[in-house]
Structure 1
Amino acid sequence: MSPQQPSEDDHVNSERSLTQLAWAIESSAGQFKLILARCNYGSLRDRLISRLREICQVEIRILTVQQSNRTLYTAIQEEFGEEMPVCVMVVGLESVQNLSVILTSANQVREEFRKNFAFPLVLWIDDEIYKQLIQLAPDLESWATTRNFAISTQELVAFIIEMANQWFSDNLKFSVDIYLQL
């Protein structure tokens, strides 16, 4: 097997998962469906969302959760009001100050999601958020279908090299965004 092969396999698997995600979104238009998109890397997630918007036949609206948001349901409701989007993707859960409150409240009002949000809801989460979701919102998690997106070895090595080069050249400005990216 050549060194190139794992990268190609990872790319094929990501593309297949992305196609499955697009199909799940399209087939769920007009009804509530909770989809968990598991991805540990913000840059990969952003590329996947961009690609998904290209291949998906429905309009995807993105909601970036704010650090101060206390409930996911209210954040969605305030963002879209009476408007009924075709699909909503939620990003930024990793930056929420008190994620346990958001997850617990989402679990408590899960029936309200189903009653009032007639669209697929895609939550982009990492492994740590997924663990908390299982622990704090098991009923909500049981409704979800999950798609996993892994970074290729080549992309991970390139990312580590880039961060190391920035660190050694004293160009790495450590901030919350960089921390979350790492």
Structure 2
Amino acid sequence: MTDSPYPPKDNLVNNDVYNGLRLRSLQQLAWGIEGSVGQFTLILARCNYASLRDRLIERLREICQVEIRLLVVQESRKTLYTAIREEFGEDVLGCVMVVGLETVQNLAVMLTSANQVREEFRKNFAFPLVLWIDDEIYKQLIQVAPDLESWAITKNFAIAKDDLITLLQQLAEHFAIP
């Protein structure tokens, strides 16, 4: 037996937590994506930490049987629908994941626009769409795009307590005054 706090790599999917990642929720997200290929499904992946989100996406690409295409939304974008369409077109065989919404200059305008054209998503995007959002974006989505939010399946990804403590310690060391 080893002193490592992490399970062996070949047993990752069966464990609830590995390196702070909620693998059961991640596996459920993978199944949701795989089960939605060929039809529009909106999935909100709630995660408040970019580093955790990036690790989750990396791990998801390993365990998901579907190709995952990633769109990093530019801060100057005004419409989500157009950003996706211009980047990938309408014929995506796998899944599209969107990150970077927290950097959009006028997110309320983007979310309101997405709410207004929500039927266009359903008509023209025959693939699962995963929006990686934090709690602040989620609150804004509920306020300005409630109809779009009501279509979504939401998966929550919280950081493990030990990882949060480590992250806070690293940030404190980084910003410590010498």
What is the alpha-carbon distance in structure 2 between the residues aligned to residue 82 and residue 30 of structure 1?
A: 11
How far apart are residue 166 of structure 1 and its match? 1.0
What is the match of residue 72 of structure 1?
Answer: 80
Matched, 1:90 2:90: no
Shift of 1:82: 4.8
How many residues end up aligned between the 2 structures?
A: 164
- Could you tell me how far apart the structure 2 residues matched to 1:63 and 1:85 are? 15
Letter matched to residue 74 of structure 1: T
Determine the structure 1 residue equivalent to 2:61.
Answer: 53
Matched residue SS, 2:22? helix
User: Structure 1 residue 83: deviation in Å?
Assistant: 3.9
Amino acid at match of 1:147: K
CA distance in 1, matches of 2:90, 2:31: 26
SS in 2 for 1:68: coil
C-alpha distance in 2 between matches for 1:114 and 1:53: 24
Is contact 1:86–1:120 with CA below 8 Å preserved after alignment?
Answer: yes
Shift of 1:139: 0.3
Extract unaligned runs of 5+ from structure 2: 6-14
**Per residue, is there more helix in 1 or in 2?**
1
Q: Provide the residue aligned with 1:161 in structure 2.
A: 169
Trace 1:123-162 onto structure 2 (pairs within 5 A).
Answer: 123-162=131-170
Amino acid paired to 1:121: L
Amino acid across the alignment from 2:74: Q
1:106 alignment partner in structure 2 = 114
TM-score, scaled to structure 1: 0.86
SS of residue in 1 equivalent to 2:81: helix
TM-score in terms of structure 2 length: 0.88
Identity %: 71
Partner of 2:9: none
